[in-house]
Every structure is written in structure tokens, then in C-alpha cells.
Amino acid sequence: MFKFIKMHGAGNDFAIFDEREGKISFSSQDIQKMSNRNKGIGFDQIIILSNSGRADIKMSIYNADGSSAGTCGNAARCVADLTGKDNGAIEVGERLLFFKKLPPLNNNPMYTVNMGKPEFAWDKIPLSSPVDPLNLNFMIEGFEQGAALSMGNPHLVFFSSIPLELESVAKYGALFEKHKLFPQAVNVNFAHILDNNHIALTVYERGAGITLACGSGACATAVIAYIQKLINNECKVDLPGGTLLIEITEDLEVLMTGSAVKCFEGQISF
């Protein structure tokens, strides 16, 4: 029997397991079964918590298909809530994500997480060839120009004059997710600028498909929009599952604010 906590941040949902209570090892097939929303727990990502030698806690993230997610801003807020601390740090990959608890909003815990600085080096995102990640050209009508960066995981951002229908997000998200330019696949962000401090965003996450929210995607999109002078350094990002607040500091650190909601606790066996 494995105990878990089901949580979500802006609708991006997780099954969180604590390895500090006993060794946990799930295969990709196990994760796929658990992620099934009809026959399993149902989630976008699975989070494994463990001890950290350099932070309050460590989290490892796996997508619904069993692949590694790299990082996850919405999950970071949920894990921050589980620490019971007002301030702290979470180890995820090579990064430390620092968090701060805020007053609750609509009875939901709220946290700001410093997601760190974006990575623009082509080989660190990574891309498969040394091209300018901020000026990517594709031979696909309607998506001729995009921009890429890493927030601890790779992101590709497109801006459109009108919001895309979900059918188009699914079609082109799947197409770009596995594009040859991205050897580790990529999260695909479809954004529409509402005004200079407001973005509408839908994300096709690698290994998970369309999700209700993607924290690192909101950060990546805001950074690209800020660099392109489409928004100010503070903005709201509306996603299908809720709204995140993003602030970009003078040295390009990205602060993300949003909720962390506990759904239920349970146990599962194989």
C-alpha cells in the first residue's frame, strides 16, 4: 500500500507520495495506470518527496506517461504547503525553488515561489542545433515564429492574435512537442496578449498533453512576452484552471504566485 495526497494548483493536479516514509519505486507503466482518470487516481504529474541535503525537501516530478518533468511551479506551491513552513526551499533537479507563504485567498493557501532565472543557451534548453532560441522559424502556417527557453524544463512559446481553440492546441501541441529541434521534447505554450499586464495561456505539456495550468509555462511565456516588450514586468496569466501572478525582477528572476489546494488523501496498491 502506498499513501498519497491529491493536490492541485490552478487545476494542474498531482498525486504526491512521500518517500521519507519508505522507499518508493514506480515504473512508467505504474505511473500511466495511476494517472488514468477513470481507472486510477487521475493526475497530470506524480510527485515523489524525499530528504534534501540543501533544502527543506526534495521533489522529483514525473509526467502522466512516466517521463521526467524536470520542474513544476504549480507542484512547488503544493509541496511548499505540505512543509508547513512560511518560508523555505525546495530542491528540484539542479535548482532550489524558494517559497513564501501569503495570506489565504478564498480559503485557499497562497504561495509565491521564486522559479529562478530562465536559461537561454541553446544547448541548455536544450535544442538540437545552435540556433537563436528567441527567434525560431518553423515552416508551419500560423506558427512561423516561436521562442524557446528553459525554466528547468524546456518551453516553446507562440503568440497569436486570438486565443486558439482546444482542438488546435491539441493538434499543434502534439506536433511541436516531438519536433526534431527539441531532443528532450518540449512544453508548448499558446499565448494571447490581452493587455500589457494580462496574458491568456493554454499549455500542451510534454508527457501530459493539455493541462488546466502550467506554472513553469506561465513563467516562460511571461519572460518571452516581457523580452518582446509585449507586457510589463508584472502580469496575470489566465489559464483554463485559474490565474497565476508572475513578476519578473530586474535580473530576470521569475516570481510566481498562486494557490495550493489539497483535494483528498488515499492509498493505492498494485
DSSP state of 171: H
- Return the beta strands (E) in 64-195 as ranges: 87-92, 95-105, 108-114, 136-137, 145-150, 154-159, 187-195
The amino acid at 30: D
Active site residue 72: yes
* 215 neighbors 97 (Cβ within 8 angstroms): no
Catalytic residue (choose from 72, 78, 219, 235): 72
What are 246's strand-pairing partners? 235, 256
| C-alpha torsion 14→90→1→36, nearest 10 | 20
Burial of 130 (0-12, 13-18, 19+ CB in 10 A): exposed
Nearest to 153 by CA among 186, 130, 127, 178: 186
Catalytic residue (choose from 78, 214, 219, 235): 214
Active site residue 219: no
What residues are labeled active site?
72, 214
